[in-house]
Amino acid sequence: MVFIAEYCFVIIDLAAAEYKHILRIAGKDIEGGKKLIVAISQIKGVGYNFAQVLTQSLNINPSMRVGFLTENEIREIERVIADPKTARMPEWYLNRRKNTDTGSNSHLITSDLDFAASNDIDREKTVMSWRGYRHMFGLRVRGQCTRTTGRKGGAVGVKKVKLLPGGAPGAPGAVAPAAGAAAASAAGAKDAGKPGAAPAAGAKPAAGAATPASGAKPAAPAKEPAKK
């Protein structure tokens, strides 16, 4: 009976507490009905293991709903995410170790993580390293197999030739057949009125003119009668 009474008091305390349907942690809007460990891991730069260590260091129940967090608990969570060293978190949990500029270890989240990654890629491209070269062409950088995966990216060392509708490769000075036929017909129409001019190629004969039948052979000359 004592256990049931204590359980009822806990339920009353949770119900009396101010429940937030949506709250903001480290610049991320989170629904109040989610578990704490799941909600914290939704922040970019914070993984599930990092969230688990964070809740253990702050002595907060990871299965409680985020909507029941107090303002002090939210501030403590944001402080540990911004500076994990205050919670004595191991250095190998941090995502920015041995920074190239300062040599220090830090943990970046949200837009700071994206900005640092873009700066690293730009530096690789500037020094023309192999990683920067692969980034420039949109290829795999970490030594992945590209024979069967990643086939939608750009190809290196391949020159594409533009083909004409007929299938022949296009040349810079080539003239299309339609343009040549139009020029020939125009020249034939200009010389059609001159006497003795040959008919233009492809021109139709005049009306009433006798035309040989298609496929007919020329008539053979008549043979003379044999002499007796």
Rounded to an integer, what distance in angstroms lies between the CA atom of residue 146 and that of residue 151?
Answer: 7
Express each pLDDT in 49-85 by its tens digit.
999 999 998 999 999 999 999 999 999 999 999 888 8
Q: Answer whether residue 223 shows pLDDT above 60.
A: yes
Rounded to an integer, what distance in angstroms lies between the CA atom of residue 35 and that of residue 128?
Answer: 46
CB 30 within 8 A of CB 24: yes
| Nearest of 99, 102, 129 to residue 116 by alpha carbon | 99
Q: Can you give the pLDDT at residue 175?
A: 46
Looking at residues 100-108, what average pLDDT do you find? 86
Express each pLDDT in 22-39 by its tens digit.
888 888 888 889 999 999
Reduced to 3 states (helix: H, G, I; strand: E, B; else coil), residue 95 is coil
CB 53 within 8 A of CB 80: no
Q: Answer whether residue 2 shows pLDDT above 60.
A: no
Q: Which residues contact 88 (CB under 8 A, 6 or more apart)?
A: 57
Instruction: Tell me which DSSP letter residue 65 carries.
Output: B
CATH code assigned to 21-108:
1.10.8.50
| 97-106, 146-155, 211-220: the lowest-pLDDT one | 211-220
Q: Which residues contact 82 (CB under 8 A, 6 or more apart)?
A: 26, 107, 109
Rounded to an integer, what distance in angstroms lies between the CA atom of residue 200 and that of residue 197?
Answer: 9
Express each pLDDT in 110-131 by its tens digit.
899 999 999 999 999 999 999 9
Reduced to 3 states (helix: H, G, I; strand: E, B; else coil), residue 22 is strand
Q: Can you give the pLDDT at residue 1?
A: 46
Rounded to an integer, what distance in angstroms lies between the CA atom of residue 87 and that of residue 224?
Answer: 127
Q: Answer whether residue 12 shows pLDDT above 70.
A: no
Instruction: Tell me which DSSP letter residue 127 carries.
Output: T
128, 131, 135, 138 alpha-carbon torsion, rounded to 10° = 130
Q: Which two tokens stand for residue 30?
A: 């989170």
Reduced to 3 states (helix: H, G, I; strand: E, B; else coil), residue 92 is helix
Per-chain mean pLDDT for the chain: 76
The distance in angstroms from the start CA to the end CA of the chain is: 152
Rounded to an integer, what distance in angstroms lies between the CA atom of residue 109 and that of residue 113?
Answer: 5
